[in-house]
């Protein structure tokens, strides 16, 4: 009795058709310089943190974000849940 078309199971099937299963670009943050990452707008803060995952040097990443304006941009252009997600990531990633 149900559709076998996976896109029929999305609230907006046209949007799903436009976005799902399309090729995407994978960025290796470990080889990008912080100066390049800092140009990625509001995604830059999380990218800087992701880059530091192996070393767990999250304090340094937040410090860099504050020094180069990424923190200010993130606070002024995102939502409170995004900032809570940043803090949760630091807490959980640091527990490894």
> Per-residue pLDDT tens for 35-88?
999 999 999 999 999 999 988 989 888 898 999 999 999 999 999 999 999 999
Q: SS3 for 73?
A: helix
Going 71 to 73 to 75 to 79, the CA torsion angle's sign is negative
Look at the pTM and tell me if it is higher than 0.85.
no
In whole angstroms, give the CA distance from residue 50 to residue 94. Answer: 11
Instruction: Tell me the DSSP string of 11-37.
Output: SSHHHHHHHTT-------GGGS-HHHH
89: Cβ contacts below 8 Å, ≥ 6 apart = 46, 49
């Amino acid at each position: 009795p149900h559709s076998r078309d996976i896109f029929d199971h999305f609230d907006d099937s046209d949007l799903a058709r436009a976005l799902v299963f399309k090729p995407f670009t994978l960025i290796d943050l470990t080889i990008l310089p912080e100066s390049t990452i800092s140009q990625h707008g509001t995604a830059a803060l999380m990218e800087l943190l992701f880059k530091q995952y192996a070393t767990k040097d999250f304090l340094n990443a937040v410090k860099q974000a504050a020094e180069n304006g990424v923190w200010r941009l993130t606070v002024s252009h995102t939502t409170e849940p995004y900032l809570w997600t940043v803090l949760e990531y630091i807490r959980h990633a640091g527990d490894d």
